[in-house]
A and B are shown apart, each in its own frame.
Chain A
């Protein structure tokens, strides 16, 4: 069963516009969730995790247990944000969503 769902394969946003990458999970307990990012020709890297409640590169993500969501948000998109973004969920292992490609339009 799909534990992590990223409904958008591709998201195109104009530079300066707000960004929201959606992630929904299915789990009845207290999940541990992450966002990973992969820039072109680079390795995947951790962007943020919900436990630390930090903001990295202007991105934030809030765990909403009622909606079982962990959407990634940024108020003003920058061209360097263009990348592949993966939501990940901790079960006994890390389970990744299928990813969303974010394309920032000039």
Chain B
């Protein structure tokens, strides 16, 4: 079973601060997804990265896939209260299903 470790597990910051969330594994993934989940709802797909070293930007969110396709990071610039939620990474290894990390719970205080 491939394991995806996310860090930190919990993060509480003030509005306007920057933050980075990490997703690490010993396995190589053919693609990796990031999701955000709000309380009482299902996760919503934010981005997919496929190529080693790939960087994708979604407004204030920057996603990077490691060169070896074993890890990824999510950086948020000038966080806002609306960014609050559970951030999940998921890696796909051509086995027909994805493996999810345990998530990072982000709280952005006004």
* Binding partners A and B: no
Q: Could you list which residues of chain B lie within 8 angstroms of chain A, going by C-beta atoms? A: none
